[in-house]
Structure 1
Amino acid sequence: MARKSARAVAAAEAANQSNDEGVSSSKVPLSELSPKSCLTCGRVVTPRAKWAKDWNGIKYCSDSCRSTRPGKVVVRFSPDGDAGDLGSSAGVKREDAAELKVDVETFVEGILLEVARQNGGGTLEDVQDRIKDLLRSSSIEVGQPQHSPSKEESGSDTDHDEQHKAQSGSSSDGQHPLWKALDSPPGLRERIRRAARRLALGITHDSDAQQTNITTTVAGSIELSQNGKVLRTVQDLSFAKGVLHVKSKNKP
């Protein structure tokens, strides 16, 4: 019988070792993995077999949430005249005398906190109206929503690998770059709702994977409720639909 070369023997051993590792890693019991929170949308991330090998490193529920995580959606533009209240809003910085830079997620969170601090708080629809009023006061035309929230509302993992950074000037379709960024996938309505979930959970813009272990609203800065019932867990927040009320935890 012909003897195998040392190289052939080494290759066979490596293959066997790889197969053994593949078998053992595929047998990680999902029952031992706990649900966590997505750092972008604030929804519950349920353990899946494809994530079992690196569950501790999973921070986002989908590619769309990874690509639109806080800090990624930024818009720069030159305002027409005085930027008014928009210029002093959270997430808005004046780059120079002629240009504003807006971190879209920080901007949305700032308006959420503003509405939440009002006496009695408000609804997420109030937050949307406030954002539109701010844009109009700065001579920014508000268009019709271009993106349906239905898939996000249902918790779909459908990915939207699109460019989310708007540049200075008007877009090719005539929409103002700030409005276009605010309404880019997942759309303004869902963008507000996911910012509300983050604030309710106490998730910051730090992308530390440890934050995914935050699954209750104990550390949150705002309180979200529906029909008088306070939403206290990431599961509650993930599946709540319809009108949501928001108020600051420091307000009665």
Structure 2
Amino acid sequence: MTHRRTGTLYVVATPIGNLDDLSTRAAAILGSVARIAAEDTRHSSRLLGHLGISVPMLSLHEHNEAARVAQLTAYLAAGEDIALISDAGTPLISDPGFILVRELRALDYPVVPIPGPSALITALSAAGLPTNRFRFGGFLPAKAGARKQVLEALRESEETLVFYESPHRILHTLDTLDAVMPERPVVLARELTKTFETFLSGTPAVLRERLVSDPNQARGEFVVMIEGAQPTVDTEQQEISADTLLNALLAEGVGVKQGAALAARLLGGRKQVWYARLQAIKD
């Protein structure tokens, strides 16, 4: 008895600007599948036209994704391969596709990623901010109060913070950042991989002034990157620093009484406590 092969969903990353960034593998997949699920079929038809690819397309966006699951599952069950693409970059990264991929994995259909461009990673790679740890927050809330609440909750985070932002809200976001993290270094990346690609660095207030003085710099989609908070010294580290100081004082021949006074002045606390600790070390 033969079993009919089920189709595969390919999650295909597409260029965020420069069409030459599409990988050879991605182009081959787009040309070989039975149909393509695109966030905006009109937008994606330009990419397919550039590639000389003619494949049936259907829309899959935030408003119809749940309703598309059964339809796409039926195509896969019939053995059709499908490519999922967004308007730009890697699908599911602040773009539609999560509901579909989750459901297909639950049904044990093969889901294969075809990696490629991502505005998030592209921006971080050239921003000059720490990238060993970062926190991606997608798009900030549109309303000022909710936006401020989100940023206040992240104010003490030590990871680099990354958000996407639209041109008509970028000044509002900089205003909120200036209220919540006024001295924090910020990098704005816009028009990535396009002709007018720009990276701007500075405090929120400095960047806002730059965008207001040159409205061209406020055009295009933004990646907003904020340097993380400086790490706080925990109690254990403070104890280690105190012990180092106390031992150094005794090694230099400073008396217990004088050393206790110095420790209290430099580290805070009561002289009697430092006296007892110094005496214990000396003994």
Q: TM-score if structure 2 supplies the norm length?
A: 0.24
Q: Which has the higher helix share?
A: 2
Q: Which has the higher strand share?
A: 2
Q: TM-score if structure 1 supplies the norm length?
A: 0.27
More relative contact order, 1 or 2 (CA 8 Å, 6+ apart): 1
